[in-house]
Homo-oligomer: A and B are copies of this chain.
């Protein structure tokens, strides 16, 4: 995360100013929305050192990767689910493949989560349990082959998890097909 800091003109809006804008723009039936209102007139300038930036896959890239994993599985007649999870632990994309078992959905998410947490394929992480067997007790993780990390300049930014094929090797092969689609 050695990205250059943003220039000093960066402004951090405080609540009061934003609130005014928000209160104005709402009509009709409201929903679970995340409005990006027009900046209010006078806002407090935030010192730039309060901010850092992180990289994420776009939803288009994550979908492309997930579909590549699904395609790779389909070529081998395997029924899988694929998930893409970002470095914040949030799921970006899930695709539950036709005929994939009910257990594959959460398995795929957890493999992706595990891969991005440690920045390594889950098949490698399984080996770490020899030294630290209780790593697998960390909530949200799953130590089974099928998860592959995506990194940017060495920093993990996402994980791709696949579940449903008869072996973790196969699952991970498909997950890596998803990662490969990001390099093209």
Binding site for B on A (CB under 8 A): 1, 3, 6, 10-16, 18-19, 22-23, 25-39, 44-47, 49-61, 63-64, 67, 70, 79, 86-108, 110, 113-121, 123-124, 126-129, 131-132, 134-146, 148-157, 163-172, 175-176, 179-180, 182-184
Contact A139:B106 (CB < 8 A) given known A28-B167, A55-B53 = yes
Complex CA–CA separation, A152 to B148 (angstroms) = 33
Sample of 14 A–B contacts (CB below 8 Å) = A13-B153, A14-B180, A16-B176, A22-B120, A31-B145, A32-B101, A32-B142, A32-B164, A50-B60, A59-B98, A86-B88, A88-B102, A91-B96, A103-B140
CB atoms of B18 and A151 under 8 A apart: yes
Q: Which label, helix, strand, loop or mixed, suits the secondary structure of the A interface?
A: mixed
Determine whether the beta carbon of A36 is less than 8 Å from that of B176.
no
Complex contacts, A163 vs chain B, CB 8 Å:
31-33
Q: Assuming A32-B108, A53-B53, what are 7 further A-B pairs, CB within 8 angstroms? A: A12-B183, A14-B148, A15-B149, A31-B169, A46-B182, A52-B56, A54-B99
Bound form: Cα–Cα A182–B106 in Å: 27
Which of B18, B50, B115, B140 is close to A120, meaning CB atoms less than 8 Å apart? B18
Task: State how many angstroms separate the Cβ of A154 from the closest Cβ of chain B.
Answer: 5
* Residue in A1, A11, A107 with the greatest tally of chain B CB atoms within 10 Å: A107
Q: Which residue of B has the minimal Cβ distance to A34?
A: B101
Which residues on the B side are within 8 Å of A3 (C-beta)? 53
A102 contacts B89, C-beta separation under 8 Å: yes
